[in-house]
Structure 1
Amino acid sequence: MAELVFFCGTMDCGKSTLALQMHHNHTARGRGGVLFTRDDRAGEHRLSSRLGLSVPAHEVTDATDFWDEVVARRTRGEAVDFLICDEAQFYSAAQVEQLGRVVDDLDVDVFAFGITTDFRTRLFAGSARLLALADRVETLQVQALCWCGARATHNARTVHGVMVVEGEQVVIGDVAVAADDDAVGYEVLCRRHHRLQVTALSSHAGSMSPQTLDMLAED
């Protein structure tokens, strides 16, 4: 019986690497699959891993209908036994519902990969619907680490290495952005340091704001 499975975790915990590995494992056994992604760090029509792997993928847009995608491929005679859906947090709630219908009515396995919450610790629409509809939710076992060594549970958005708490929900960036770069970056933090807004850069006492030092003193 086909399943809708949601693999989730913070940034930097190997979601895209697992997505590529699962695609390889299933195709190696003769199953036909389709890779989907949205707003990957490598650009449109790519699914990439921080380990350096990057493969072509179908770009999901607001207009993508997964039911139509699978039906069209099968009508052309293509075998579609499973879907790999990376960056699923960026999908709409309606698109996640389409994935559920693909599983139930077309007997296609759907393996979705994504982070659950944004830089403000608010659920993404796609992730919220996946948590509600998935047959299984798997938290990835590869633990990303905060700069302090604790398990990272939250995604922080940074500019010049300093955490920001306002802005659009979706701004594409990566965890490898240098502190002196003007681009938006991301850093994974434990709950405590996300709450205190202490990044790796601001963890050095000389760069902490007085307000942060006061908060740490009171903690």
Structure 2
Amino acid sequence: MPASGDRRRHPAPAHLRFFHGPMDCGKSTLALQVDHNQRRQGRHGLLVTQGDRSSAPQISSRVGLSRDAVEVDAATDLRLLVRNRWADGHRVDYLIADEAQFLTAVQVDQLADLVDDWHVDVYAFGLTTDFRAHLFPGTQRLLEVADDVQRVQVEVLCWCGLPGLLNARVVDGVMVRSGETVVVADTAAVDPADTEGGSSPAVRYQVLCRRHYVRGELGPTTAGPGQLSLS
């Protein structure tokens, strides 16, 4: 027990919070709102991302909001990133990691170290599952070690009107279930003219309910129900 005259104070405990959900549920919008609220209280943050839909080093939302961020990859040591900021004389009271599903398990543990050893609040935002309905490695580790896990409450609807839960990858109008785990694309329909004459297929994502994900049905079109490819 410290003496009664000891006025030393321990830093307030920090937390690792993880917000997750399917595409289009507003994760990036929430990340920017958290950053705004923190900055209004005079706190200084570091924003990181990888593979943002804008293809730029920023966090961007589909409602038109964006803010510059540091682009990271699997080789980035997030602890060193923060410590270098401190060495340059910049405060880092909190860290916001968007697209956190792309983090490695080691990087998630680095975030936990920043919380536990350096008292930096961490807010991570990411997809729950990939296009195969499997947890991303970063998501899995965050679910295992985060202090607080919350599903983003903005409801995403499947074309049938049921809650959308799973992210389907659509290549040239056909749902696929195999391929590279990470292919950056958005949920907007792809204009065929953008890929006409080129070798790159038109790739997009569509959020489906579990039933229509299992069936591979993308919704009624002029050509009938969406098709499913297992290749």
Residues 31-57 of structure 1 show CA distances to partners (whole Å, capped at 9, x for unaligned) of 010110000010131211001112211
Residues 78-123 of structure 1 show CA distances to partners (whole Å, capped at 9, x for unaligned) of 1111001000000111000000000000000000000111000011
Residue 58 of structure 1 and its aligned partner are, at CA, apart by 0.2
Residue 140 in structure 1 maps to residue 159 in structure 2? no
Structure with the greater alpha carbon radius of gyration: 2
Q: Any unmatched runs of 5+ in structure 2?
A: 1-12, 196-200
Q: Any unmatched runs of 5+ in structure 1?
A: 213-219
- The residue identity in structure 2 corresponding to 1:53 is L
Contact 2:176–2:228 under 8 Å retained in 1: no
CA–CA separation in structure 2 for the residues paired with 1:34 and 1:208: 45
**In structure 2, the residue corresponding to 1:207 is in which secondary structure?**
coil
The 5-angstrom pairing of residues 1-219 of structure 1 reads 1-178=13-190, 180=192, 182-200=201-219, 203-204=220-221, 206-208=223-225
CA–CA separation in structure 1 for the residues paired with 2:59 and 2:112: 22
CA–CA separation in structure 2 for the residues paired with 1:75 and 1:12: 37
Runs (4 or more) in structure 1 with deviation over 4 Å come to: 209-212
CA–CA separation in structure 1 for the residues paired with 2:94 and 2:225: 49
Contact 1:161–1:179 under 8 Å retained in 2: no
Contact 2:189–2:204 under 8 Å retained in 1: yes
- Matched residue count: 210
The TM-score normalised by the length of structure 2 is 0.86
CA–CA separation in structure 1 for the residues paired with 2:172 and 2:78: 38
Q: What percentage of residue pairs aligned between the two structures are identical?
A: 51
Instruction: Name the residue aligned to 1:217.
Output: none
**In structure 2, the residue corresponding to 1:23 is in which secondary structure?**
helix
CA-based RMSD of the aligned residues comes to 1.8
